[in-house]
Amino acid sequence: MTDNLLILPIFAHLLIAVLLIFAWGRVNIQRVISILGHFLVLLVSIQLFRKTWFAGILTMQAGAWKAPFGITFVSDTLSATFVLLTAIAGLGVGIFSMVGISRSRMQFGYFPISHFLLMGLNGAFLAGDIFNLYVWFEIVIISSFVLMTLGGKKPQMEGAIKYVALNMLASTVFLTAIAILYGLTGTLNMADLSQKVAQIEKKELVSVTSLLFFIGFGIKSAVFPLYFWLPSSYHTPPSVIAATFGGLLTKMGVYAMLRTFTLIFIPDPFTQNVLIACAIMTMFTGAMGALNKTSIRRMFSYLIICHIGYLIGGLGLHTQVALSAVVFYLIHDIIIKTNIFLATGIIHKIRGSTDIRRLGGFYEEYPKLSLLMAIIFFSLIGVPPLSGFWPKIGLFQASLDANAYVLLGAFIMASFFTLYIIAKMWSEVFWKDLPKRPEETNEFTELPFYKQTLLVVPVLGLALVSLYIGLGAENILAVSNRIALNMIDTGYYVNAVLNK
Amino acid sequence: MVKLLLGLILLGNGANILIFLMGDIAKGHPPIISKDASIFTQMYADPVPQALILTAIVISFGLQSFAIILLKRVYQMTKSDNLDTLKPHEVDI
């Protein structure tokens, strides 16, 4: 079904970002525009999700050029779900950043750039053309470069070098893969590619190209052995920015991988084994990395990597149960990863540090806030019936069905280590007595009440979303099952785009 | 750091040239259908790679200029252009 309004989530962010540039430097006006903008995008995204859910799939052909020739935007259930999740996480981050980011960073364009970033994300999720996907990726990474270096502190800049270099490398590999794919098929439209790639006789060339895509997206989504930029850069920017990055940017890489490896390249047994081996190593190294870190931000950075392993492993199994679990895990993960970094931001405001050697006594001083964070961490671990539990059951079941016992063992090990890391973090930060420290700065209690509320509300809101994902799992499962069905049966997407 | 930069620029240009080669090169055959025909009857130059390269050049130009400024700032801050001396910091901002 053709629906030209499906680019509204992209367009709304563009409009807001342009408006924000006109109010350059006037922080209070920018705050109001930005927060209204986030609400507007949330409404538009809910509307898009509702329409997509009822219509099945929506398409838009830019300039009315027929499908394989023009640029196509497609909103299937997967895209619409991601746009909705981006809007929810974006709203949470937007509210938190009213207070959680320094005034000087706001004056140097935090708000417009963050809207450009979200615009790029929405564009990447709605793109139906692989080169268009590349362009949206570039919009996202250039915005993320600016956000990463905004403020210009020394450790930030040093972290940014690795981030910039590795991401530019990833883009180049992605572009190379597109070039070879175009040479092989002569088309860029993803639906058309799906058909033409299946007809290519030289399967080896297709395998090599698909692995080039895997390397490009793997760097972006921090898969073993390409993840080293993430832990050395994600802890340097302010918590709000780290929340956007941790929640959304790596997941964009996973989204692109899901799209290419279900629609364009159907993994052969070799590619499946590569994916599963990378997934196992990603889980293992992520968990091991998190064990010996003393800064909770760095611990969480490694946990991001560890949990990317779940997603890649599920993709490697490539059965309907596994894909459904992967999508469910992504839905859970975007919300929870954004939220743990926001929670870290509150801890940092209160204690002036994120190093566990200098933290403690949190539960004694802030029992209600601690309980709220307990919900978040329990969801992250996957204590039944909270949100992390259901997708893991699906992944376990899928790996049992496929007789992939090593992968099953890795899933269980990664869950166990996540539990151990969070338990250690909890006892250090919340239960241990507060160690003697030279300086006693508590920015949080110095803030007026409404500003404290602005910091707690997004964490509470995202925790409620997590609770809903856990307790209303049958609804989420309905969404993820339908997405998985469309991933296995690519004909639905192809026919809708090419109007057959 | 200069080597890093040169490498990134070379890689970007290499990818652009690859796109150029991957579109079928046909000299002297513009992609215009002649008056008396309704479809292409002979080989023609594919116009899509041009559009792709143009986009890719602009994007890589933007990224590279950002990288140059970033590396210059880091050099001013650390007074060293050796990447190996950059240490991961366990600090909070």
Interchain proximity A168–B12, CB inside 8 Å:
yes
Mean pLDDT for B67-71 is 90
* Percentage with pLDDT > 70 across chain A: 99
Cβ of residue A142 closer than 8 Å to a chain B Cβ: yes
Q: What number of CA atoms fall less than 13 Å from residue B45's CA on the CB side? A: 12
**What distance in Å separates the CA atoms of residue A386 and residue A476, rounded to the nearest whole number?**
13
Across A222-236, A245-259, A394-408, least confident range: A222-236
Token readout for A22 is 């006109």
3-state secondary structure (DSSP) of residue B7: helix
Nearest to A263 by CA among A477, A78, A59: A78
**What distance in Å separates the CA atoms of residue A332 and residue A375, rounded to the nearest whole number?**
13
Interchain proximity A175–B56, CB inside 8 Å:
yes
Interchain proximity A165–B67, CB inside 8 Å:
yes
Phi-psi region of A331 (alpha: psi -120 to 50; beta: other; left: phi over 0): alpha
Report the gap between the CA of B78 and the closest CA in chain A (Å).
8
- Run of H or E including A87: helix A77-100
* Percentage with pLDDT > 90 across chain A: 55
What does pTM read for this prediction? Answer: 0.92
**What distance in Å separates the CA atoms of residue A6 and residue A62, rounded to the nearest whole number?**
11
Mean pLDDT for A9-16 is 94
pLDDT of residue B79: 80
3-state secondary structure (DSSP) of residue A71: coil
**What distance in Å separates the CA atoms of residue A82 and residue A72, rounded to the nearest whole number?**
18
**B44 has pLDDT over 80:** no
Those of residues 338-367 in A touching chain B at CB distance below 8 A are: 348, 352-355
- Run of H or E including A59: strand A58-61
Mean pLDDT for A210-230 is 89
CB-closest option in A151, A176, A182 to B15: A176
Write the pLDDT tens digit of every residue in A364-390.
Answer: 888 888 999 999 999 999 888 888 899
Give DSSP secondary structure letters for A327-384. HHHHHHHHHHHHHHHHHHHHHHHHHS--BGGG---HHHH-HHHHHHHHHHHHHHHT-T
Mean pLDDT for B28-47 is 78
**What distance in Å separates the CA atoms of residue A267 and residue A325, rounded to the nearest whole number?**
18
Report the gap between the CA of B92 and the closest CA in chain A (Å).
6
**A20 has pLDDT over 90:** yes
Write the pLDDT tens digit of every residue in A54-80.
Answer: 988 999 888 878 878 888 999 999 999
Across A13-22, A412-421, B20-29, B72-81, least confident range: B20-29
What does the longest C-alpha to C-alpha distance in chain A come to? Answer: 71
**Chain B interface mutation, best of A168, A212, A215, A302, highest count of B Cβ atoms under 10 Å:** A168
Find how far residue A13's CA is from the centre of its chain.
Answer: 18
DSSP category for residue A268:
P
Interchain proximity B18–A151, CB inside 8 Å:
no
Mean pLDDT for A92-111 is 88
DSSP category for residue A225:
T
The b/e string for A438-458 (b: 16+ C-beta within 10 A; e otherwise) is eeeeeebeeeeeeebebbbeb
Cβ of residue A104 closer than 8 Å to a chain B Cβ: no
- On whether the CB atoms of residues A434 and A307 are closer than 8 A, the answer is no
Mean pLDDT for A391-403 is 91
Nearest to A170 by CA among A267, A257, A236, A270: A257
Interchain proximity A165–B63, CB inside 8 Å:
no
Which positions in chain B touch A354 (Cβ < 8 Å)?
A: 92
Those of residues 179-218 in A touching chain B at CB distance below 8 A are: 179-180, 182-183, 186, 188
Phi-psi region of A101 (alpha: psi -120 to 50; beta: other; left: phi over 0): beta
CB-closest option in B56, B64, B86 to A161: B86
- Over chain A, what is the mean pLDDT? 89
Interchain proximity A158–B87, CB inside 8 Å:
yes
The label of the residue with tokens 């991933």 reads A487
ipTM: 0.89
The b/e string for B35-60 (b: 16+ C-beta within 10 A; e otherwise) is eeeeeeeeeebeebbeebbebbeebb
CB-closest option in B18, B67, B78 to A164: B67
Cβ of residue A429 closer than 8 Å to a chain B Cβ: no
Which positions in chain B touch A348 (Cβ < 8 Å)?
A: 92
- On whether the CB atoms of residues B29 and B55 are closer than 8 A, the answer is no
**What distance in Å separates the CA atoms of residue A31 and residue A14, rounded to the nearest whole number?**
16
Residues sharing a CB contact under 8 Å with residue A64, sequence separation 6 or more, in sequence order:
A70
Of A227-236, A347-356, B59-68, the range with the highest mean pLDDT is: B59-68
CB-closest option in B14, B46, B74 to A158: B74
A-B contacts (CB, under 8 Å)? 115
DSSP category for residue B28:
T
Rg (CA), chain A: 22
Report the gap between the CA of B34 and the closest CA in chain A (Å).
20
**What distance in Å separates the CA atoms of residue A185 and residue B24, rounded to the nearest whole number?**
12
Those of residues 33-92 in B touching chain A at CB distance below 8 A are: 46, 48-49, 52, 55-56, 59-60, 62-64, 66-67, 70-71, 73-74, 77-78, 83, 86-92
**What distance in Å separates the CA atoms of residue A426 and residue A440, rounded to the nearest whole number?**
22
Which positions in chain A touch B60 (Cβ < 8 Å)?
A: 171-172
Domain boundary assignment for chain A: 4-498
pLDDT of residue A500: 65
Name B62's bridge partners.
none
- On whether the CB atoms of residues A162 and A144 are closer than 8 A, the answer is no
- Run of H or E including B13: helix B2-22
- On whether the CB atoms of residues A239 and A348 are closer than 8 A, the answer is yes
pLDDT band at B93 (very low <50, low <70, confident <90, very high): very low
Residue A353 identity: S
